[in-house]
Structure formats: C-alpha cells, structure tokens
C-alpha cells in the first residue's frame, strides 16, 4: 500500500496542477490578459479552491503512506546478548567463543 499511496500522491498532484493551469489559461484567454479587480479576486479564489482540492486527499494519502511503511529491521544488540571472550595471550576481547583468537591466532582455553 505504501508504494501505491506514493504513486497516488504524485498522480493527484500532477492532475491538480494541470487543472489549476488550465483554469488560469482559460481566465487569461477570456480577459485578454487584462483582469479587473473582481476577475483577479475570482482567479485567486479559484486557485485557493484548487489548493484545497489538492491538499486534503494528498494529506490523507500521506498519512496512509506513513502508516503502512515497513518497520525498521534494525535491532540493537544489548551487551548481555552477545558473548565476548578475553584472549589469554593478547588480552583483547572478541565476539563469541572460538578455539583460536581471531586477532592474534593463539589457541584459547575454553
């Protein structure tokens, strides 16, 4: 659903942008580029309506995209969950248990 919501947001944004542009072109054609104050106010209100028509569905799809995104797979390792071993020869710690130290190569007594 996450990918579908993102595609929906992109398509909806493009359609609303094209709708707003076609409305402004239509107003400009009808007024020959010279709008009165009332026509300019109407054009501004029209753009605001397009903004509202775009915003609410986009916000809804954005919430859906956030709610359905995959959970992070990062797992924090606590110090208690990982076994560490102290090398008897080099004195350094290494993860897990091994017969030979992965750092210096000396045999370990387990």
Q: Cα dist. 67→24, 57, 94, 97 in Å?
A: 36, 15, 40, 42
pLDDT along the chain (110 residues), means of 10: 78 88 82 82 86 88 81 58 79 83 83
Residues 6 or more apart from 99 whose CB is under 8 A from it?
A: 107, 108, 110
* Per-residue confidence (pLDDT) for residue 34, from 0 to 100: 83
Structure tokens at 49: 């309506």
Please write the tens of the pLDDT for every residue from 30-60: 888 788 888 888 888 888 888 898 899 888 8
* Per-residue confidence (pLDDT) for residue 78, from 0 to 100: 54
């Amino acid at each position: 659903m996450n990918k579908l919501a993102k595609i929906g947001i992109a398509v909806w944004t493009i359609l609303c942008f094209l709708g707003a542009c076609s409305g402004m072109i239509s107003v400009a054609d009808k007024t020959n580029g010279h709008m009165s104050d009332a026509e300019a106010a109407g054009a501004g209100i029209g753009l605001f309506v397009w903004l509202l028509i775009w915003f609410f569905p986009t916000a809804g799809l954005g919430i859906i995209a956030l709610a359905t995104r995959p959970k992070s797979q990062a797992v924090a390792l606590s110090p208690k969950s990982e076994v560490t071993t102290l090398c008897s020869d080099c004195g350094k710690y290494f993860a897990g248990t091994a017969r030979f130290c992965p750092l210096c190569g000396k045999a370990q007594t387990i």
